[in-house]
Structure 1
Amino acid sequence: MGPTRRDVLAMGLATCGWAAAGGTAASAQPAHRPVPFGGAVYLPDLEADPRLGDAIVAHCQAVTPVNELKWISTRPAPDLFDFAASDKIADFARTNALAMHGHTLVWYAELPEWVTRLTSAADAERALTEHIVTTMQRYGDVARSWDVVNEPIPDAARRPTDRRDSHWRALLGDDHIAQAFRIAHDVDPDALLVINEYDVEFATGYFPAKRQAFAHLIRELVDKGVPVHAVGLQGHLRGGVPIAKDELAQFVADMRELGLKIMVTELDVIDRDLPGPADVRDAIIAAQVEDFLGAITASGPLHSITTWGLSDTYTWIRWAYGRSDGLGNRPLPLDENFQRKPMFDVIDRFRSIV
């Protein structure tokens, strides 16, 4: 019997470089193979606009579900899983020989009400374990990387030891982070397990302290032998806020010395306060993405780059950071007509670093 479709897909996912926690598949890539590129997708957008699916297939090697794998979507009740929406994105990935990056297993936000009513550590640990095991097992063929813990650092960290408050932390303590990684590793020892965070790339305000706390947490986990394999830098860049190029480069170099891969997981640029003309704005955005990617590749190539959406038509920034001048936001590599913008040229250039 020849290889099954699943066998072919597995080979395709491995060769795209999105697999293998230990780096076997990625390191085996030919030197000329670009760093894998992915886009986040929201199922209603994918179903409503065929152009979006076509663009993902044309440009991407992976997709990340925006909301469909979050607890609020998959866990309507303690004894009930609802994977209807996430199954559709997984099937889209399988059909088009794409990987699916799992987002996210543990997050402080968007929890169903029944989770917030849990009052004992035993119940919280049972719910967390069941969720991670069931979700990872369901998508083990197509999701070879996971944001195991998302956004564990508070915005205004006062000390390097500060961790974000959450219901998980209230019931299980700070060790819930290590617990989640250990459970995930037990489920799938070959999956790439990621700790994911935002707002660690800037030079001013509360950002340096947040970066320091994130680094402290990662070192603490690695020192304890927790199976963390990659650092996810979301990259929701704030247009006009300077990138801390030297400090960010050092942070990434330190993470690489710990043996961790570096992934850009949610790249876009919040352009609410940037000038109106499209060509001017696009140039500023491209330059900021250049600064960001330049800093984090100074010590080596990225494992992957993912943008939070692909076309300006479908971006969370439109409702979260709409412009006062009424112009449409332009945070992503493709414009409203799915045409390439300068941001995409910058991404492609950094994908070629080996």
Structure 2
Amino acid sequence: MRSAPFTLLLSAFLFAAGCSDSGDGNGDETTGSGGATGGTGGGTTSGSSGATSGSGGATSASSGATSGSGGGATSASSGATSGSGGGATSASSGTGGEGAGGSDGAGGGASARVPAASASTLREAGEKANPPILIGAAISGGGLGNNDYKRVAGAEHSYVTAENEMKWDSLEPSAGNFSWGSADNIVNWARQNNMKIKGHTLVWHNQLPGWMSSMTGKDNVTAAMRRHITQVMGHFKDRVDTWDVVNEAVQTDSDTGVGNPRMRPSVFLNQIGENYIDLAFQIAREQDPKAKLYYNDYSIDARNAKVDFVYNMVKGMVDRGVPIDGVGFQMHIGPPNNEATGADVAANMKRFTDLGLEVLISEMDINRCGGVVTAEEQLAYYHDIVEACFKLPKCTAITFWGINDGRSWLNSWSGALCNGQSSQSLLFNDQYGKKETYNRVMNALLGK
């Protein structure tokens, strides 16, 4: 179902009034083909070998210099402090989060992010924005065997998520026995290219080894979860400082986020109960007091029942003092998912940042399989959704789920209606050339 192209103001107004529409989304379903693998998401997995405005008075500062942005708003980073109440400031850092020596507050009207005057790569556009924003990609071990893949990935991105190599079945294939090689290769490559890394994912119902998915007993499952989180975060400590702690804990009757939102059945829910989510975050915080800890899900970008459920779940976590730092919007757009406008995304992200949390786009692709999303719509969505994140200083990163069309996980996943054909879903073509989707994303990052 296609959402109507509302303006941001109208969308936010209707959203606040409780207006509800169908959503988008099928996140992290995984499939692989020749080393290209998918994200995480609501259902089946099939692996492949080895693949495993600022408003007036709001300020932000940069290195002591101010840069005006309409309405008297100024912008700055590095040591700026963001407080609560009116005229909140926005600090920046290399992570797109708090500024060096600064603090981040809630409330009031946060200032707008200021775009770079020019940039030759997406990475440069993100790094020169004020505050900076991380531009990421899902990286596969198979992809790193291709020189063009590595060249484009390193030049255009500052942030890495392993496509499959850091999921449970890859890291702990048998109980208590860990396999680090494939994940270490990706993490080490990213660090050699001065890229930050987000760990994906510690607790998820999918891509579990059989020994874990069939485990019974609350104490047994709790102990296994604790061991996995502790060992994985401990192994990557000081190299990986942001984590998707829990992934896709909520489901609805449809992949669009519509119908009967509820907790998703899993070995964790079935054996531990709903508090497994709180417990996973608490264990993660104990392991690394400085890490950023995220909840990640699909179909929470449009206006639907699922985003309302997830919002209430996350708000409850915040109210209980659970150590959660942010929420990842997967942003898989196109079949079998719904289509979300930039206005929808902006309104939903604002709800979570108003809780004092960061948000990020964690797995973005927009597929054109089955003719559901037209070429014109795809270009508009890429621009407007990226723009919605970019304009929100507490939206800290945008990650695209793959590098080029030929390696997209969607090509061989039946749910996407591609039937083995190219999903045409990313920013680079099969020859690693820039597509018009790339240009629209660049325009959004440059404020055009």
Q: Which category describes the TM-score, using the shorter chain as reference length?
A: 0.7 to 0.9
| 1:40-63 deviation digits (Å, cap 9, x = unpaired) | 01112222x111111111111111
Query: Per the alignment, do residues 338 and 209 of structure 1 end up closer, same or farther by CA in structure 2, a change over 3 Å counting?
Result: same
Task: Give the structure 2 partner of residue 10 of structure 1.
Answer: none
Counterpart of 1:184, as a letter, is A
Corresponding residue number in structure 1 for 2:323: 227
Q: Is 1:121 aligned to residue 218 of structure 2?
A: yes
Q: Could you tell me which of 179, 183, 201 is aligned with 2:279?
A: 179
Aligned counterparts, 1:1-354, within 5 A: 15-17=93-95, 23-25=98-100, 32=130, 34-47=132-145, 49-156=146-253, 158=259, 162-202=262-302, 208-238=304-334, 241-243=338-340, 245-274=342-371, 281=375, 283-296=376-389, 299-300=392-393, 302-320=395-413, 321=416, 323=418, 328-352=422-446
Is the CA contact 1:192–1:229 (under 8 Å) kept in the aligned structure 2? yes
Separation in 2 of the partners of 1:159 and 1:225? 27
TM-score (norm 2): 0.67
2:213 and 2:267 in contact (8 A); partners too: yes
Q: Shift of residue 225 of structure 1?
A: 0.6
Whole-Å separation in 2 of the counterparts to 1:244 and 1:212: 17
CA contact (8 A) 2:143 2:150 kept: no
Residues 1:155 and 1:87: Cα distance change in structure 2 (over 3 Å): same
Task: Report the Cα offset of residue 112 of structure 1.
Answer: 0.6
- Shifted more, 179-188 versus 240-249: the winner is 240-249
SS in structure 1 at match of 2:361: strand
Q: 1:274 to 1:166 in 2, by over 3 A?
A: same
State the TM-score, normalizing by the size of structure 1: 0.84
Unaligned runs of 5+ in 1: 1-13
Q: Given residue 353 of structure 2, which amino acid in structure 1 is its aligned partner?
A: R
| Contact 2:370–2:417 (CA under 8 A) maintained in structure 1 | no
CA distance 1:297–1:33, shift in 2 (3 Å):
closer
Closer, same or farther: CA 346–261 of 1 in aligned 2, 3 Å? farther
> Percent sequence identity over matched residues?
26
User: Given that residues 35 and 351 in structure 1 are in contact (C-alpha distance below 8 angstroms), is that contact kept between their aligned partners in structure 2?
Assistant: no
Question: What are structure 2's unaligned runs of at least 5 residues?
Answer: 1-91, 104-126
Letter in 1 for 2:280: A
TM-aligned CA deviation for residue 292 of structure 1: 2.7
The alpha-carbon distance between structure 1 residues 275 and 202, as it changes in their structure 2 partners (threshold 3 A), is closer
Q: Give deviations 1:78-106, integer Å, cap 9, x for gaps.
A: 12011111011111112222111100000
Per the TM alignment, residue 330 of structure 1 is displaced from its structure 2 partner at its CA by 1.1
What secondary structure sits across from 1:43 in the alignment? Answer: coil
State the 1:138 CA deviation. Answer: 1.2
Deviations 1:115-147 (A, max 9, x none): 123211111111111111111111122211110
Q: CA deviation at 1:327?
A: 5.1
Q: Is the 8 A contact 1:17 1:26 kept in 2?
A: no
Higher mean C-alpha deviation, range 249-258 or range 180-189? 249-258
> Matched residues in 2 for 1:75 and 1:228: separation?
25
CA distance in 2, matches of 1:201, 1:262: 11
Q: What is the DSSP-based 3-state SS (H/G/I as helix, E as strand, rest coil) of the residue aligned with 1:58? A: helix
- Displacement after TM superposition at 1:287 (Å): 0.8
Kept in 2: contact 1:133–1:183 (CA 8 A): yes
Contact 2:138 2:163 in 1 (8 A): yes
State the Cα distance separating 1:343 from its structure 2 match: 2.0
Distance in 1 (CA, whole Å) between partners of 2:214 and 2:418 is 38
Q: Counterpart of 1:273 in 2: which secondary structure?
A: helix
> Residues 133 and 187 of structure 1 are in contact (CA less than 8 Å); yes or no, is this contact kept in structure 2?
yes
SS at match of 1:37: strand
Q: When the two structures are aligned, how many residues end up with a matched partner?
A: 326
Q: Secondary structure at the match of 1:227?
A: coil
- In the alignment, the residues of structure 2 paired with residue 16 and residue 300 of structure 1 have an alpha-carbon distance, to the nearest angstrom, of 13
Kindly tell me: are residues 328 and 158 of structure 1, through their superposed partners in 2, closer, same or farther at Cα, counting changes over 3 Å? closer
Per-residue CA deviation, residues 1-30 of structure 1 (Å, 9 max, x unaligned), is xxxxxxxxxxxxx95315x6xx34596997
Contact 2:201 2:246 in 1 (8 A): yes
